[in-house]
């Protein structure tokens, strides 16, 4: 049985019944939740960092799972001791606003983090979401992350790189800070939810003008609820020569069927096979 520690780096789940539904689902999947109490008060950035440090330092914790997204996770970054996390390795999981932690923690510690469903998403998960999440926490017996998922190829090809990415607006907010993503040699994925097309256009244009795509080996467009993936691709294609593989996978992001992705893992993207395969990955207690 794997032990889960719940952290609250962003919003609080508003309704206790929704929180409890996610906790029950974790128990039904065979996890032991070490702190199943419903949190009712928001924490300061320092308190959130302290909670993260406690979770990483606890040798009984197997998975550190965010309660939900929202906003404000990035405020925690100045208070996180990355050297401490590196000395006490753990597996952090979450997505959306938690992208602001997944990528910096991975880059500053060398740890792989999980772009994964959170307590808020696990109340009524689909079979695919459960299968992908359990594949991750069980050490990735299935190396093809896209197995069973629909894909659309915008520009074909093959690429190797370090998997990085997450919520577009959140990661754009980290640019020009000491925690912005290093995109060199990366396979970069983006998702977002209910943003207007002009907002997505502005964010991607900022990445282009900042030269953040110069070292990228491939781009994966996740779900942009309310915007078609073709529209997102055209924002890129209208401003830069597309010489790298670009695909769309609608099961990345704020969707019912959700792929768990290892941020910081070495992967290979093959558009002909429509596969994204882990080639090298290190998790505490797991080596692939």
Catalytic residues, by residue number, are: 96, 191, 254
Query: What distance in Å separates the CA atoms of residue 56 and residue 54, rounded to the nearest whole number?
Result: 6
H/E stretch holding 107 reads helix 99-109
Strands 92-94 and 63-66, by their bridges, are parallel
Which are the contacts of 169, defined by CB distance < 8 A and separation ≥ 6? 192, 195, 199, 203
Alpha helices, H only, 110-196: 127-137, 168-173
Extended beta strands in 20-157, E state: 31-33, 63-66, 92-94, 113-115, 152-155
As beta bridge partners, residue 192 has 224
Number of H helices and number of E strands within the chain?
8, 15
Q: CB within 8 A of 155, min separation 6: which ones?
A: 242, 244, 245, 246, 271
Strands 152-155 and 282-283, bridge-based pairing:
unpaired
If you count them, how many residues does the chain have?
288
How far is 162 from 165, CA to CA, in rounded Å? 10
């Amino acid at each position: 049985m794997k032990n889960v520690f719940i952290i609250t780096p962003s919003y609080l789940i508003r309704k206790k019944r929704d929180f409890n539904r996610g906790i029950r689902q974790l128990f039904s999947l065979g996890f032991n939740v070490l702190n199943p109490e419903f949190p009712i008060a928001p924490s300061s950035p320092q308190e959130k960092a302290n909670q993260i440090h406690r979770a990483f330092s606890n040798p009984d914790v197997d998975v550190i799972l965010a309660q939900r997204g929202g906003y404000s996770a990035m405020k925690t970054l100045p208070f996180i001791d990355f050297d401490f996390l590196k000395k006490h390795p753990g597996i952090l999981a979450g997505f959306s606003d938690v992208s602001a932690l997944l990528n910096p923690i991975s880059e500053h510690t060398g740890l792989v983090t999980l772009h994964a469903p959170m307590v808020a998403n696990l109340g009524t998960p689909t079979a695919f979401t459960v299968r992908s999440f359990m594949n991750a926490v069980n050490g990735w017996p299935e190396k093809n992350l896209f197995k069973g998922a629909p894909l659309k190829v915008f520009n074909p090809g093959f690429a190797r790189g370090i998997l990085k990415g997450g919520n577009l607006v959140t990661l754009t907010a980290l640019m020009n800070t000491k925690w912005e993503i290093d995109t060199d040699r990366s396979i970069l994925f983006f998702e977002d939810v209910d943003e207007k097309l002009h907002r997505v256009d502005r964010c991607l244009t900022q990445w282009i003008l900042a030269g953040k795509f110069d070292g990228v080996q491939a781009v994966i467009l996740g779900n942009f609820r309310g915007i078609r993936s073709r529209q997102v691709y055209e924002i890129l294609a209208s401003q830069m020569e597309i010489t790298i593989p670009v695909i769309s996978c609608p099961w990345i992001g704020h969707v019912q069927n959700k792929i768990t992705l290892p941020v910081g893992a070495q992967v290979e993207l093959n558009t002909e096979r429509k596969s994204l395969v882990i080639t090298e990955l290190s998790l505490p207690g797991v080596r692939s």
